[in-house]
Structure 1
Amino acid sequence: MVISVLAGGLGNQLFQYAFGFRMARQLQTELRLERHMLESQTLARLRNYTPRQYELDVFGITNAEASWSDTLLSLSRTLLSGHQVVLLRESEPATLAKVSARTKDVLCVGYWQSEDYFKSESEALRTQLRFQKRPSDATLAVADSIRTHPNATFVHIRRGDYVTNAITNQHHGVCGEAYYQQAVRYVRERAADTHFFVFSDDQTWVKRELGALLSPATFIEHNKGADSWQDMYLMSLCRNAIVANSSFSWWGAWLNGQSERIVVAPQRWFAADKSSYPSVVPPHWITV
């Protein structure tokens, strides 16, 4: 059995699922999803953690939930010699080398924010990761508009806790105006008649600071809370992309499998040093 521990929002859950999916296929075993951390109020009190809801159901992902006993049993087995159980922690990349044909159980703990962690199963994941829920009429209207623009390009500006939370800001940082100016220039020089579809958790700031730069643009503002997944759906329809240092827009870009497209990403994904980890940005994306 492979158990993938879920934490964070939809983008992070997708990375954690994708890595668990890869490991389960590699070992020809079952994948279960550990969901207890998602809504943990205890973690929220002890650490800088925002409780979340399970969101992978928008893709129809209904893998069995790992029980506490499943998880504790896997942890206990790592302490017993003779049991082929591996605890994989993203903070210890070398642990991947411990997985062999004899491995029976794997417990995956981390965010696994790189295509390198699941690239061998990318084709299977693209086939599976299709939105199953019906979008709202407002979202479908925007989808129709995206389809009328051959060079529809989404722009994601992530602010929120990246700006207001000191700990989050120290870890992630925020993509500033200079990044978007360079990214927009890059796309416009290579894609005629670009129309931008803009997604942000702070559209007031975006319109004030970047409105002139992005014009002509459509600002998407109707998807809130439990409907936020519909923004990712709309992102996935756009031919080109300018992503923030956010797993949400990373997947919005990745889910569009068209060739001959432009994806621009920030050269520095994390404010904190993550040089020992695989690159978050796929090699065929452009960094500025």
Structure 2
Amino acid sequence: MLLSPHFVAKRIERYVITVSLIGGLGNQMFQYAAGKALAERHGVDLVLDLSGFKNDKLRSFLLDRMCVPEAGQRDSSNGSAEKPPNHFARSLWGQRIDRVLKLAGLPKLAAPADSYREPHFHFDTAFDSLGPHTSLFGYFQSERYFSSISESLREWFSPREPFGEAAAGMLTLIEGSPMPVSVHVRRGDYVNPGTAEFHGILGEPYYREALDRLERTIARKAELFIFSDDPVAAERVLAFVPRSRLVHVCGDSDRPWEDMALMARCRHHVIANSSFSWWGAWLNRSPDKVVLAPRAWFAPNELKKRDTSDLYPAGWRLV
């Protein structure tokens, strides 16, 4: 049966990729990147489902502080007309039920044909075969999900507004440094009971070895720009480094995208087991950058359950 162009146009308009956003800025960027890459592949729109933030007292939507095209479309950010507004809640409950069924030795629930829940931490090859009308739920922490749009993402993930006074001053210091290296020391919620047992906490041995390997690679001493949500802890962890070589970046906690952009302006990077500094290093466009990353991305017991090999882009060095 032949279809009129008008009918075909209306049918194509129904196709849309929806991605549920949760977590902090780094997580939101991974989720957006995967959804956007899939939408670009099919030539359809991307819709951002923000319903996961409704009851989250710690996290909020932050992509609107970047040049993300869809971030200004807040009127449609809770799902397309063809998706129920509780898409996030349905996906979350489906994930929880799957865990219970797994413990009971029973098969997982069959997901709707147009819904995709990330099945594991490493890259899922089935992602490439998803259709043009799919709802995504997961973390998607691998460059393999979005390598096809890397250059565009670096543009979209730049700050929408000029730096504030503090960040602008720090940028001047970074640009004036002969060898600026970003060092991320993550604490914050990582030290909370339960969270620490999941993520793990990087201590002095990791940073000592990472910095030693970095400086042997670049064959010179570096000026270290320290990014941390706990400057006191960072000072203790990096006590083996002369203070004259440390610059503490005292950013605005309400403007985390600025710290990430400052990380990206450094020459090389020592990152934490954090999606935040992952992106700070990834956004650095230099092909000669050296990135040191922790091999133990999770605490030992959790690391045994996950394949993290797809987490690290080619060329990053594991410590």
Query: Are 1:32 and 2:40 counterparts?
Result: no
Matched, 1:142 2:170: yes
Deviations 1:197-233 (A, max 9, x none): 0011111122133134264110012422x22221111
Q: CA 1:105–1:190 in 2, change beyond 3 Å: closer, same or farther?
A: same
1:202 aligns with 2:230: yes
**Contact 2:159/2:257 (8 A) holds in 1:** no
Query: Aligned equivalents of 2:29 and 2:144: distance in 1?
Result: 14
Q: 1:220 aligns with which of 249, 255, 259?
A: 249
Give the counterpart letter for 2:232 in structure 1: T
User: Shift of the alpha carbon at 1:278?
Assistant: 5.3
In the alignment, which of 67, 74, 91 is matched to residue 60 of structure 1? 67
2:156 paired with 1:128:
yes
2:100 aligns with none
Structure 2 counterpart of 1:25, one-letter code:
E
Bigger radius of gyration: 2
Displacement of 1:257 in angstroms is 1.1
Q: What is the Cα deviation at residue 158 of structure 1?
A: 0.3
Out of 161, 166, 184, the residue aligned to residue 193 of structure 2 is 166
Instruction: Tell me: CA distance 1:143–1:73, structure 2 relative to 1, closer, same or farther (3 Å).
Output: closer
Residue 97 to residue 222, structure 1, CA distance change in 2 (3 Å): closer
Aligned partners of 1:33, 1:85: CA distance in 2, in Å?
19
Shift of 1:277: 5.7
> 1:77-96, aligned counterparts within 5 Å?
85-92=113-120
Match of 1:14, as an amino acid?
A: M
CA distance in 1, matches of 2:67, 2:265: 19
Q: For 1:143, give the aligned amino acid.
A: L
Aligned to 1:71: 83
Which residue does 1:190 correspond to in 2?
217
Q: Identify which range, 90-99 or 55-64, moves more after superposition.
A: 90-99
Whether contact under 8 Å (1:154, 1:235) holds in the other structure is yes
Contact kept? 1:3, 1:34, Cα under 8 Å: yes
Give the aligned length: 270
The alignment status of 1:18 with 2:37, answered yes or no, reads no
1:211 corresponds to which residue?
239
Gap runs ≥5 in structure 2: 1-15, 88-111
> Does the 8 Å contact 2:79/2:85 carry over to 1?
no
Residue 28 and residue 146 in structure 1: after superposition, are their counterparts in 2 closer, same or farther (change >3 A)?
same
Q: Structure 1 CA distance, aligned partners of 2:141 and 2:123?
A: 16
Q: Partner letter of residue 151 of structure 1?
A: M
TM-score by length of 2: 0.78
> Kindly, what percent of the aligned residue pairs are identical?
34
Cα distance in 1 for partners of 2:309, 2:17 equals 22
Distance in 1 separating the partners of 2:127 and 2:289? 37
- Give distance in 1, aligned partners of 2:51 and 2:179: 41
Listed as ranges, the gaps of 5+ residues in structure 1 are: 42-49, 76-83
Amino acid at match of 1:133: E
Secondary structure of 1:72's counterpart equals coil
Q: What is the alpha-carbon distance in structure 1 between the residues aligned to residue 67 and residue 206 of structure 2? A: 35
Q: Take 1:109 and 1:266, find their aligned partners in 2: how far apart are those partners?
A: 26
Aligned AA (1:261): K
Determine helix, strand or coil for the equivalent of 2:184: strand
Decide which of 261, 267, 280 is 1:239's aligned counterpart: 267
2: CA distance, partners of 1:98 / 1:279 = 14
SS in 1 for 2:83: helix
Range 177-186 or range 199-208, more displaced: 199-208
Q: RMSD across aligned C-alpha pairs, in angstroms?
A: 2.5
8 Å Cα contact 2:123-2:144 kept in structure 1 = no
Decide whether the 8 Å contact of 1:116 with 1:278 is kept in 2: no
Taking structure 1 as the reference length, the TM-score comes to 0.85
The equivalent of 2:23 in structure 1 is 8
Structure 2 vs 1, CA of residues 28 and 245 (structure 1 numbering), >3 Å: closer, same or farther? same
Aligned match for 1:108, one of 92, 112, 136: 136
1:287 aligns with 2:318: yes
